[in-house]
């Protein structure tokens, strides 16, 4: 998905039609919600909310939510869910939310879980799907991970659509990152090409928080909390030794959002190194000399937070790729540890470097309460969209409002910039020089 | 502060002037931030961000942030902080943030902490102020509460202004709720009347999350997490006994936001009772009969979350008032426990009611990572406003953006409504009938 | 169970016999444990381990563990578990342990869970028993409470034995406190009287840690950790107000162990009030005057930990009883709060009392890792005893060793004394005068 | 310290004398403790508490505690504390306890903290000592690590004793592991040789729990809790992928106690690999083939806990040493990950190995409540010993009693054996074959 200039038409959500069924939310005695709760057709928010907007002044995003007329008949609707890519806190919350709300709000009881991501739609899946009931999923939000399992890589799109047809699926919820959403876009396009009525709805998952139109991705807050704890431990280690230097590697292949937020939450970090910033290592203005001066001035300890994708200008990558096609990186944490030790050896000064790579510990924990709520919301809005017959879209979150975003509008991943407010918050809580960016 | 129709002029922030000093952010070598980081004079966001806005279409909120020209000369500026009202997670984070950023960003080193709220500005304070340095506050964010202490009630405004003058204070940061902000408004008006140049900036604190123009108040997320844990315990207690009924009382005198969010975070609550909703207790459609049916259908256990201010239509209040002038409520949790026990006794059925009042446990814990970050942001924006010479205003948070809100615009407290999205989320995760509201 | 002078014979465990079956631990290929692992018949530890022992020099306790010959034939053995009384962290761990180890170690697969304590053995139980499998219990240790439910009170012993016979149960594991163990003793005696071979094994549960021969009861450590957190919150509240006094009520009807350990864990408590100590309230040497002096000397805040059963010399009890026959106490926390407020009012001095009753929050949380391990150990030793045909006994823990204790030896509950090491630790970490005891 | 057969004389604690001063515990009005609280001279417990003891039947350990006569005059006593080696939860608790109890119980106010372990007694220390007051240490137990800093390696003994003399130190508390205690033994011997009266007391610190006469070392329980959490995360990761295999490396260079206890606490581990057990890797009975079969039978996921020192029979070590003289190990976790991946590749089967090395995260966290209490106890007993003039000894914990252990008796480190109760608990909760040991 490339980054092009968005047109108004790019933001119009595709929808099967006509929609003639009244929403059960309106008719069910138990629910019987007020009219004021429904989203009106065409209800939008501005993409640029400044009073003096820029060139995107005309662009609007469709507000997510239930509509009074729906497309799918609850009695004959079969839904499927799959989760792809790396783990992220909240996956089970999303699964649970979809199963609960489909039943409670739309009386849709036939929901299956596709096992191990898109692999479950291949011709030879690792495991068959499981039937998901409220009882089956009632406690899953207490655990991290995903009860459906996950995997990387996609089978051929046409095969996946064949299998959706074979299984009689009417709506597919794809929970995953960049690659997963691209895959969902291809599936949705193939379905439209074949003139089928299968809704494909994406729920963006990215612990890096780098999906456009998603202000804060689910699991991100939980991950920040855990990364903060790891930083606190490294801080303690650094203070426990003379010229102690703690290094914590934090997830983030190409975006530093998780690292930067964790640094702000910690308040004790001296250097924040992210993929977007090519910091100098050697020489007078470089990290090593700066660190040396810092140790002398500030109690003989220092704390460095480094994103896994930072420093590629210094170490390159391995040349290998994983099953998702992601390039494998060299270990920047190990590299920094070695470089710092070598430098201090050359200066004949003591240094004690402690390197922590919390890795999976950050992403496999259960969602915290913020993400519990956020994931339930995402699930509910995804269902509303699907029941209304919308397709080829994901749920976004923009200026505090849940919105429906066509897959085609997504464009390239978010990156931090040197003048964004988050980076200024980082600069204000670290000791690092501003001219590294 | 009453709720009137806002005019454009109501949202214009008062400001001392002229501002002729260049911001140290611009000139200090260490900082030397880019021009693109500064807020432009007059930069605003829309209050109503819908593409088809209502009658408030023209209303705009001033974006918070540093400006290139400032009013106060850092070398001769003395700042003061005070905290009022009940505890709330994050108070120490705000204090720490103000001290750190005044020093790091504006080189203001003379900061004092007024002890025990407005009492510290009285003619006979409990304790004298303390000098606040970065070293003094460096670890305070690890603890709940407020190192400055807090109290309720205000001395006479004119006396407080006299004391600010006597102490040579140039800017006063008031962290507190509704009453505190009203007090700050009075102080600011008195200062303006006397033609003085003392900036008064409010940082809204409310665990009830009921301050207008503040989408999520600081400490609220931490409190939700803790309340969720109390609900989980009550759920366990309820399941541990035959016809077990867990009741948890949650803070919220007149607004149910905290209770409602906690209910959504829990996912296990059957009844959510808030001050805004006058639920029926007796009779066929009432809580007692509904609970009886529920226990039979759903595994013989139930969980009730009740805001402290709920049910006043049933029990009234005590007629007494606390030092802030707040009416003391009767204990709705105890009342419900007794009523349920009585009703089941009259039906000759077993019931085991377990009542938990986590009270102070919810508000005295340290801020979680989300609130760490949020409090630091609030502190930074408060300082930017003060240094620019703004006054008689508080920091708000609207559509994901920090904004400067004149005290005079605040109006009455926020309340939940029966068609808001949060209430729909509550309805979707509980068993309670919609027609109670 | 009264406290009499123990004889050597009192400590001999009853046992069905003869035992002719080789333990599956010895014969199963998967296990095939070494001979050195088995407990030798008659293996004991000294009750008094001092080199210069007192009058109990000859008393020995039977070491718990697997024996090489067992009594029950695994293929035809049916086990039952029940949990009674108030919740306690670790109940589910014990249940899980029994189910797992019966299967893994002895190949006993027929295990049922009696619902809601002894009520499940009555003629009209609330709920029928559930079949317990490894799959069913695999994740239950992640949650607090008991999946079996609990209740108070016992049906007639003879009826319970009839029902055990009707259900074909060979061994009954009773998890509960004082009253439960007394009930188990009666059941075991009735079984012996009828010449039946049903083993009855107790697993002592008491959050008050007052069962004799049990150095540390399961769940106790978890409860201490949670109570410490409540004390920390009250400490924060106390420091947040001028002359702030935090009061935390902690479980412990007649024994102060939980309160005392929590006080030691906290390190911030000024007064520790327990049922064993009749502290003075009024007058020069009383709590109120002492508190007044303390507030003046120590930063105007104080923290009081009070056991629920403390202060009965001051307030008596309600005269009512619960279903277990326990007398209902008046609320000592509320009483202290009122007395302190009244006293300071009479002195015309400010005081801010914050009273926290964490109650169920302390006992309904999941077991921490120490209790995970300890509960699994208890379950394993209980099974070893039962499979060997032992009966009318409970598992104890003495000088770091698990032991088999005949119910008849138990005697009255443990109490703290004014010269025990725990109380000295309390004195060393509080401000309270020693002459209150 | 080698392992020799202990004689009765080996367990006699050295003591300066004569002791003529009454303990302040007895005389101070505030304390005025009862006589029954004091330890009687010669009070001992049996080392072997079995009723039918082995060849150590006559060996006794001196009970720790305050005596009525003390050696050092509180008014003229100066104490010093140092912490050595790797971090461990509870170091700050021990420091705080020593400072508090010296003041509260013995009115000793002159306490200094030696910075960075024995390095602080060298001729050229990194940092000068700090004066430790109650105020200075009042909150340090809330943080992990050690406020004194730590280091590895010892300066010459004679130089260290010179420096103790120069600083006027009367008692030195050495908190550290095997090497530290050996160092303290040498210092104490040198002091005795010079006929000086400086008490040297050790407080054993070892996250591996391998110090003899110490049933459970401080920080161990906290570390188990954290390691359990890491195992839970790895379990979630393993379940999240097809044929997912989680590997967690846990501290323990030569002893598997920490790994084994963590495995028991988790309940979800399939393989527990420790240094004491040389498990087979390849071939029919080896780990790889066993794992392959296990994945097929048990839901396609597995969890391995491996001590850092396990598997040296397979990979050897690096040949390098650290500053303490410890051999650096190759990374067994990385090795297993690679071997498993290679094996499954060779079988043409999918496998997803997730390797977690929580490393410092396990040891730098604050002590939990159990360790809070335990560390305070250790500090108190260490002070009692020092004030009584005892020296050349450490505080041990045996059969639930704190004891004074001469350094000379310590002998070689503890190891697990294949028939110990802990290993049986491990076997009972894992899937691993018993014949690997």
In a domain, B316, yes or no: yes
Contact D429 C376 (CB under 8 A): yes
Whether A58 shows a pLDDT value over 80: the answer reads yes
What CA–CA distance (Å, rounded) separates A251 from A226? 12
Same domain, C195 and C344: no
In a domain, B98, yes or no: yes
Same domain, B76 and B13: yes
- Confidence class of residue D294 from pLDDT cuts 50, 70 and 90? very high
Same domain, C246 and C323: yes
Residue of C394, C401, C376, C402 lying closest to C105 (CA atoms): C376
Residue B317 CB neighbour total at 10 angstroms: 13
Predicted confidence at residue A54, as pLDDT, reads 83
Same domain, B213 and B99: yes
Same domain, A83 and A183: yes
Rounded to two decimals, the pTM is 0.94
CA end-to-end distance (rounded Å), chain C: 27
Predicted confidence at residue D30, as pLDDT, reads 58
Boundary-marking domain end, from C333, C364, C395: C364
**pLDDT, average across residues A281-289:** 95
- Confidence class of residue B1 from pLDDT cuts 50, 70 and 90? very low
In a domain, A419, yes or no: no
Tokens of A148: 């459906």
Predicted confidence at residue C197, as pLDDT, reads 97
The enclosing domain of B326 has a CATH number of: 3.40.50.460
Predicted confidence at residue A1, as pLDDT, reads 42
Burial of A126 (0-12, 13-18, 19+ CB in 10 A): middle
**pLDDT, average across residues D301-320:** 94
Tokens of B45: 């966001």
Residues of chain C neighbouring A143 (CB-CB closer than 8 A): 139, 142
**pLDDT, average across residues A188-209:** 96
Contact B370 A370 (CB under 8 A): yes
The answer to whether residues B63 and B97 touch, using CB atoms and an 8 Å cutoff, is no
Which active-site residues of C does the annotation give?
Answer: 208
The answer to whether residues B254 and B414 touch, using CB atoms and an 8 Å cutoff, is no
Same domain, A206 and A296: no
* Backbone φ and ψ of A45, nearest 5°: -120, 160
Predicted confidence at residue B32, as pLDDT, reads 61
> pLDDT tens digits, residue range D329-347?
999 999 999 999 999 999 9
Whether B58 shows a pLDDT value over 60: the answer reads yes
Predicted confidence at residue B29, as pLDDT, reads 57
Contact C60 D51 (CB under 8 A): yes
Contact D428 C105 (CB under 8 A): yes
> pLDDT tens digits, residue range A88-146?
999 999 999 999 999 988 999 999 999 999 999 999 999 999 999 999 999 899 999 99
Nearest residue in B to C230, CA atom = B361
- Confidence class of residue D56 from pLDDT cuts 50, 70 and 90? confident
To the nearest whole angstrom, how far is the Cα of A399 from the nearest Cα of chain B? Answer: 5
To the nearest whole angstrom, how far is the Cα of A425 from the nearest Cα of chain D? Answer: 25
Q: What share of chain D has pLDDT > 70, as a percent?
A: 97
Query: How many helices (H) and strands (E) in chain C?
Result: 13, 19
In a domain, B97, yes or no: yes
Beta-sheet pairing, D110-113 with D78-83: parallel
Based on the structure, what is the number of domains in chain D? 2
> pLDDT tens digits, residue range D380-409?
999 999 999 999 999 999 999 999 999 999
The answer to whether residues A397 and A218 touch, using CB atoms and an 8 Å cutoff, is no
Least confident stretch, A33-47, B85-99, D217-231? A33-47
Chain D positions touching chain B (beta carbons under 8 Å): 139, 142-143
Predicted confidence at residue B30, as pLDDT, reads 58
Contact D145 A358 (CB under 8 A): no
Residue recorded with tokens 């004030």: D387
Q: What is the mean pLDDT of chain D?
A: 93
To the nearest whole angstrom, how far is the Cα of D220 from the nearest Cα of chain B? Answer: 24
Predicted confidence at residue D1, as pLDDT, reads 42
What CA–CA distance (Å, rounded) separates C56 from C35? 32
Of D33, D372, D424, the CB nearest to C434: D33
What CA–CA distance (Å, rounded) separates A280 from D271? 44
Question: How many residues comprise chain C?
Answer: 437
Same domain, C297 and C359: yes
Q: Which chains touch B (3 or more CB pairs under 8 A)?
A: A, C, D
Burial of D55 (0-12, 13-18, 19+ CB in 10 A): exposed
> pLDDT tens digits, residue range A306-359?
999 999 999 988 888 877 778 889 999 999 999 999 999 999 999 999 999 998
Q: Which chains touch D (3 or more CB pairs under 8 A)?
A: A, B, C
Cα–Cα distances in angstroms (integers) from residue B244 to residues B232, B239, B299, B304, in the given order: 14, 6, 10, 11
Chain C positions touching chain B (beta carbons under 8 Å): 87, 116, 119, 126-127, 143-147, 149-151, 229-230, 232-234, 236-237, 239-242, 244, 300, 350, 354, 356-361, 364-365
Contact C236 B149 (CB under 8 A): no
Nearest residue in D to B140, CA atom = D139
Contact B44 A33 (CB under 8 A): no
Residues in Cβ contact with D293 at an 8 Å cutoff, skipping those fewer than 6 apart: none
The enclosing domain of A23 has a CATH number of: 3.40.50.450
In a domain, D204, yes or no: yes
Cα–Cα distances in angstroms (integers) from residue D89 to residues A82, A425, C264, D372, in the given order: 42, 32, 17, 9
Tokens of C92: 């589910």
To the nearest whole angstrom, how far is the Cα of B261 from the nearest Cα of chain D? Answer: 27
What CA–CA distance (Å, rounded) separates D429 from B113? 56
Boundary-marking domain end, from D347, D362, D377: D362
Same domain, C281 and C297: yes
- Confidence class of residue B208 from pLDDT cuts 50, 70 and 90? confident
Whether D168 shows a pLDDT value over 50: the answer reads yes
DSSP state of B174: E
Predicted confidence at residue C280, as pLDDT, reads 96
Same domain, A145 and A13: yes
3-class secondary structure per residue, C334-395: HHHHHHHHHHHHHCCCCCEEEEECCCHHHHCCCCCHHHHHHHHHHHHHHHHHHHCCEECEEE
Nearest residue in D to C399, CA atom = D399
> pLDDT tens digits, residue range B281-326?
999 999 999 999 999 999 999 999 999 999 999 998 888 887 777 8
3-class secondary structure per residue, chain D: CCCCCCCHHHHCCEECCCCCEECHHHHCCCCCCCHHHCCCCCCEEECCCECCCCCCCCCEEEECCCCCEECCCHHHCEEEEEECCCCCCCHHHHHHHHHHHHHHHHCCCEEEECCCHHHHHCCCCCCCCEECCHHHHCCHHHCCCCCCCECCCCCCHHHHHHHHHHHCCCEEEEEECHHHHHHHHHHHHHHHHCCCCCEEEEEECCCCCCCCCECCCCCHHHHHHHHHHHHHHHHHHHHCECCEEEEEEECCCCCCHHHHHHHHHHCCCCEEECCCCCCCCCCCCCHHHHHHHHHHHCCCEEEEEEECCCCHHHHCEEEEECCCCCEEECCHHHHHHHHHHHHHHHCCCCCEEEEECCCHHHHCCCCCHHHHHHHHHHHHHHHHHHHCCEECEEEEEECCEEEEEEHHHCCCCCCCCCCCHHHHHHHHHCCCCHHHC
In a domain, B432, yes or no: no
What CA–CA distance (Å, rounded) separates A242 from A16? 66
Nearest residue in D to B143, CA atom = D142
To the nearest whole angstrom, how far is the Cα of C372 from the nearest Cα of chain D? Answer: 5
Contact C101 D428 (CB under 8 A): yes
What CA–CA distance (Å, rounded) separates C318 from C313? 13
> pLDDT tens digits, residue range B26-43?
876 556 667 788 998 889
In a domain, C420, yes or no: no
Beta bridge partners of C307: C250
Whether A26 shows a pLDDT value over 90: the answer reads no
The parent domain of residue A191 ranges over 8-217+367-409
Contact B365 C233 (CB under 8 A): yes
- What parts of chain C have a pLDDT lower than 50? 1-2
Same domain, C339 and C397: no
> pLDDT tens digits, residue range A212-238?
899 889 999 999 999 999 999 999 999
Same domain, C175 and C249: no
Annotated catalytic residue within A93, A178, A208, A270 = A208
- Confidence class of residue D32 from pLDDT cuts 50, 70 and 90? low
Residues of chain D neighbouring A127 (CB-CB closer than 8 A): 242, 300
What CA–CA distance (Å, rounded) separates C189 from C184? 9
Predicted confidence at residue C32, as pLDDT, reads 61
Predicted confidence at residue C316, as pLDDT, reads 87
In a domain, A334, yes or no: yes
Q: What is the mean pLDDT of chain A?
A: 93
Of B151, B236, B350, the CB nearest to C364: B236
DSSP state of C285: T
Nearest residue in B to C323, CA atom = B352
To the nearest whole angstrom, how far is the Cα of C44 from the nearest Cα of chain D? Answer: 5
Predicted confidence at residue C31, as pLDDT, reads 61
Predicted confidence at residue C30, as pLDDT, reads 58
Beta-sheet pairing, C244-250 with C301-307: parallel
Contact D419 C31 (CB under 8 A): no
Contact B145 C240 (CB under 8 A): yes
Nearest residue in D to A246, CA atom = D360
Same domain, D148 and D287: no
Residue of B251, B263, B416 lying closest to B326 (CA atoms): B251
Residues in Cβ contact with A296 at an 8 Å cutoff, skipping those fewer than 6 apart: none
Beta-sheet pairing, B327-329 with B317-321: antiparallel
């Amino acid at each position: 998905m490339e980054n092009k200039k968005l047109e108004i038409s790019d933001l119009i959500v595709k929808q099967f039609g006509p929609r003639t069924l009244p929403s059960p939310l309106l008719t069910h005695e138990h629910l019987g919600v007020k009219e004021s709760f429904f989203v009106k057709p065409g209800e939008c928010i501005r993409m640029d909310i400044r009073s003096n907007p820029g060139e995107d002044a005309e662009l609007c995003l469709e507000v997510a939510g239930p509509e009074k007329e729906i497309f799918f008949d609850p009695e004959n609707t079969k839904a499927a869910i799959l989760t792809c890519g790396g783990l992220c806190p909240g996956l089970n919350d999303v699964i649970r939310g979809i199963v609960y709300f489909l039943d409670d709000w739309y009386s849709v009881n036939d929901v299956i879980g596709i096992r191990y991501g898109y692999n479950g739609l291949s011709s030879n899946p690792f495991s068959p799907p499981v039937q998901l009931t409220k009882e089956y999923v009632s406690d899953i939000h207490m655990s991290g991970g995903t009860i459906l399992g996950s995997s990387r890589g996609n089978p051929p799109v046409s095969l996946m659509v064949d299998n959706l047809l074979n299984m009689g699926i009417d709506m597919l919820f794809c929970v995953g990152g960049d690659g997963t959403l691209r895959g969902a876009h291809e599936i949705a396009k193939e379905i439209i090409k074949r003139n089928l009525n299968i809704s494909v709805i994406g729920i963006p998952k990215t612990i890096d928080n780098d999906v456009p139109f998603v202000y804060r991705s689910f699991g991100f807050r939980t991950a920040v909390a855990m990364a903060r704890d790891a930083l606190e431990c490294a801080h303690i280690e650094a203070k426990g030794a003379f010229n102690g230097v703690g290094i914590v590697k934090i997830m983030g292949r190409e975006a530093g959002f998780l690292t930067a937020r964790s640094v702000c939450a910690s308040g004790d970090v001296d250097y924040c190194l992210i993929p977007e910033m090519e910091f100098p290592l050697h020489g007078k203005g470089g990290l090593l000399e700066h660190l040396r001066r810092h140790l002398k001035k500030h109690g003989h300890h220092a704390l460095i937070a480094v994103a896994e994708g930072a420093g590629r200008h210094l170490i390159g990558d391995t040349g290998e790729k994983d099953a998702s096609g992601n390039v494998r990186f060299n270990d920047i944490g190990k590299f920094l540890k070695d470089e710092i030790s070598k430098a201090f050896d050359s200066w004949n000064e003591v240094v004690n470097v402690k390197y922590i790579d919390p890795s999976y510990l950050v992403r496999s924990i259960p969602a915290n309460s913020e993400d519990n709520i956020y994931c339930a919301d995402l699930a509910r809005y995804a269902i509303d969209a699907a029941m209304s017959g919308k397709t080829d879209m994901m749920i976004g979150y923009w200026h505090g409002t849940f919105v429906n975003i066509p897959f085609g509008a997504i464009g390239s991943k978010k990156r931090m910039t040197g003048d964004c407010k988050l980076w200024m918050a980082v600069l204000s809580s670290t000791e690092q020089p501003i001219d590294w960016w």
